[in-house]
Amino acid sequence: MEQHKKIRLLVSVAAAILLAAAAFWYFSEPTDTESLLEKADMLRAEGKYEDAVEIFTRILRNEPHHLEALFNRAYCYDMLAKYDLSEADYSEVILLNPGLQPAYLNRGQARYAQQKWDSAIVDLNFVLRFNQFDTIALYRRGFCKGKLKDVASAIQDYSKAIQYRPGFVQGHLERAQLFLMRQDTAMALFDLTKAIELAPKDTRGYFGRGELLFNQQKFELAGNDFNQVILIDSLSTKAYYNRGLCYFYLRLFNEACKDVGIAYELGDTSALPFLNANCRPQQ
């Protein structure tokens, strides 16, 4: 009899433990929308985008038109470079709230990430209709127009973005490329030099200006720019190769072979024909 009492007691204790564990699991896993949103937002802030998407999707199964969950899931898809999915979510957001400007801006971003230049411009036009000073929208629309070869209009957008946002390095770099497409080397040189002034540790300005000067056969000046690239990034194979070409045209053949040889050693196999034609055989 005493043995049966002990067994019943053990069974009761075990059942109590199981119930407690079940209760802990139930209450630690949020089931209401507000708690799920809170958890998903925390995961999103921590950069755990896949996990956040899973929870936003759970919310949307129960509430398909939940605006916040749709918008934030779209953002997570952006961060995961799943632009087709983010575009679909932003489109749903816009259907639910046609005046929500950030949704148009972000959908425009998702579209130009997919090279849908025309439809991206439509979204960015909407944003700029309400805020003509939005430099992000201006920059992105200029980028899309450049891809569509609408160079003059793209330059206008970049120029406005630069005007409204002084110190906009990327704007100067992109506009320089458009000026080069128009054969306006003076303005391209201005933009590249400005980019260097604004960001002296950014190799892109030096590289772009070096290539422009090289094409103008200003080999010493071009070599100086490629030298600056190497000082910032000692593993830039293209900078070694280009500086080597500058030395070659300046008739500094030893220096040329040394630089092109370094480019080859760093993995630039396109340097091999130059080495074979102009330098001692490479072992």
Q: Which domains does the chain have, with CATH numbers?
A: 29-126 (1.25.40.10)
Residue 7 scores a pLDDT above 70 = no
- At a CB cut-off of 8 Å and minimum separation 6, what does 9 contact? none
Q: How confident is the model at residue 281, as a pLDDT?
A: 61
Question: Do 97 and 81 touch, CB atoms closer than 8 A?
Answer: no
Which element (helix H / strand E) includes 66? none
pLDDT band at 32 (very low <50, low <70, confident <90, very high): confident
- Asked if the model's pLDDT at residue 108 lies above 60, the reply is yes
Which amino acid does the sequence have at 233? D
pLDDT given at position 23:
39
Tell me the mean pLDDT in the region 151-169: 97
Q: Maximum Cα–Cα distance for the chain, whole Å?
A: 108
- Please report the pLDDT score of residue 30 as a whole number: 52
User: Average of pLDDT values for 157-184?
Assistant: 97
| Cα–Cα distance for residue pair 260/247, rounded to 1 Å | 10
**Which CA distances in Å does 70 have to 57, 83, 90, 137?**
8, 14, 7, 22
Do 192 and 214 meet the contact criterion of CB atoms below 8 Å apart?
no
